[in-house]
Amino acid sequence: MPVQIWNPDVYQRHAGFVPTLGAPLLDLLAPQAGERILDLGCGDGALTLKLKDAGCQVFGIDSSEAQIAAARARGLEARVMDAHALPFNAEFDAVFSNAALHWMLQPRRVLAGVAAALKPGGRFVGEMGGAGNVASVIEAYRQEFATLGRELTDYNPWFFPDESTWANLLADSGFEVLALERFQRPTPLPGDVGDWLNLMTQTFLAAVEEPEQPALIGRLRESLRPTAQQADGSWSLDYVRLRFVARKRA
């Protein structure tokens, strides 16, 4: 599958709402001063910094070198790491994750690593895309790929589970599920949907040669316009989030 590349400046311009909308997770996490917390998929560290400011010993990991560099520029302890191969052993009081787990296509491996990283009774709090997330975008790509003779599954970087799927994965990985909900959250975009597509759907766009990608984005934009463009010309997408609190069984 093609690789998704993250540019922190571009991400901040076109997806800066992600950490902002994820901030309520911190209330669910209820971080305590002195706790050691792993931020799984920390990005540029916007929420990681809030954990540090709460007095936690926080460690961020992400697959993007550029995002980790941005997190370190905030004064955070952070490292490039594959979440499918976490090396930790009972080191953390909690693991926190916002808008990252749905990019990890082997969830059992991720959850096994999270469970190993937590102390007995440690908590795992996160939010990710849930079933139905950006369904309009996926359908627009499905129609385009049918015309192009491409298989959507060869380019889809996302895992959007429903409640029962995620609850079962957590339970199988040694967690007690304390809270789990999936909810609609229509999300206004800060700019044009084409900017969002350029940022978030790079693996889909790789189905065509780079010179052809602007035309593909143009066609997708027209497909999305009836449902995603508002009367004032702004854009909003059909986000669906899955939010959970779990505890590692002792």
Q: What is the mean pLDDT of the chain?
A: 95
Say what the pLDDT of residue 24 is: 87
* CA 197, chain centre distance (Å): 15
Please state the rounded mean pLDDT for residues 90-105. 97
- Whole-prediction pTM: 0.94
**Three-class DSSP labels, the chain:** CCCCCCCHHHHHHHHCHHHHHHCHHHHHHCCCCCCEEEEECCCCCHHHHHHHHCCCEEEEEECCHHHHHHHHHCCCEEEECCHHHCCCCCCEEEEEEECCHHHCCCHHHHHHHHHHHEEEEEEEEEEEECCCCCHHHHHHHHHHHHHHCCCHHHCCCCCCCCHHHHHHHHHHCCEEEEEEEEEECCEECCCCHHHHHHHHCHHHHCCCCHHHHHHHHHHHHHHHHHHHECCCCCEEECCEEEEEEEEECC
Please tell me the distance from the alpha carbon of residue 17 to that of residue 87, in angstroms, as a whole number.
Answer: 31
Say what the pLDDT of residue 15 is: 72
Pairing outcome for strands 92-98 and 36-40? parallel
Instruction: For residue 20, name the pLDDT band (cuts at 50, 70, 90).
Output: confident
Determine contact, residues 14/190, Cβ cutoff 8 Å.
yes
Please state the rounded mean pLDDT for residues 180-209. 96
Residue 201's nearest CA partner among 247, 139, 243 is: 139
Crossing angle of helices 135-148/213-228, nearest 10°? Answer: 140
Please tell me the distance from the alpha carbon of residue 63 to that of residue 79, in angstroms, as a whole number.
Answer: 9
Say what the pLDDT of residue 2 is: 79
Q: How many CB atoms lie within 10 A of CB 169?
A: 16
Higher pLDDT, 166 or 2: 166
Say what the pLDDT of residue 139 is: 97
Q: What percent of the chain has pLDDT over 70?
A: 100
Say what the pLDDT of residue 227 is: 95
Enumerate the domain spans of the chain: 8-134+157-189+241-248
Say what the pLDDT of residue 21 is: 73
Residue with tokens 């499905």, as numbered in its chain: 142
Say what the pLDDT of residue 45 is: 95
Q: Give domain 8-134+157-189+241-248's CATH superfamily.
A: Vaccinia Virus protein VP39 (3.40.50.150)
* CA 195, chain centre distance (Å): 18
Please tell me the distance from the alpha carbon of residue 35 to that of residue 1, in angstroms, as a whole number.
Answer: 37
What is the identity of the amino acid at 210? E
Say what the pLDDT of residue 9 is: 85
* pLDDT over threshold 90, residue 12: no
* pLDDT over threshold 90, residue 18: no
